[in-house]
Structure 1
Amino acid sequence: MPDGTHQPTKNRRFSWSKKVLAGMRPQYMLFRRSLLNRVHMRTETFPADASRASIARTLKRMRRELLDEVDAVDLRFLGVTEEAA
């Protein structure tokens, strides 16, 4: 899209979205759907002068954390692990 916006893909377990906020600050939102069909989200807004490499590192870390969190939720739902006391 010409305004720098990317919409999340529908009907996928993992998706992302990007908006450009005032001051040309990019905001990324990562989404992951659990087996219960609940959506889990992470969001981060970067400064306008952030390098692409630092944005990529942060997004990679955020994605890994989100996937791990939702996998833990799914494993508890399937009865493979128990909730922490």
Structure 2
Amino acid sequence: MNTWPCWITGTSSIADRIEESHRDHLSAREGVPARRKVPAKPGPAHRAQALSHWLRYYNERRPHSSLGGRPRISRVHNLPRQDI
């Protein structure tokens, strides 16, 4: 039985630990892969692009209750080339 803490192994419940133990048993007996492959984390370029999209949405489109449902950009005055 695996003695690693659940936050290291990725198991989060008793059922997950039982399933993991069963999978390990099968792998030793029948050649079934013991572990699921963990998907690769997105790289820094992907994270930067996602943050850029989220910030644009947050500042320009997302309604804010403190502004009466208007986006944050509605508070900006005298943008370049838009002087009134």
Give the structure with the higher percent helix.
Answer: 2
Larger Rg: 2
Give the structure with the higher percent strand: 1
| Higher relative contact order structure (alpha carbons within 8 Å, sequence separation ≥ 6) | 1
Is the pair's TM-score, using the shorter chain for normalization, greater than 0.5? no
TM-score by length of 2: 0.26
- Normalising by structure 1, what TM-score? 0.26
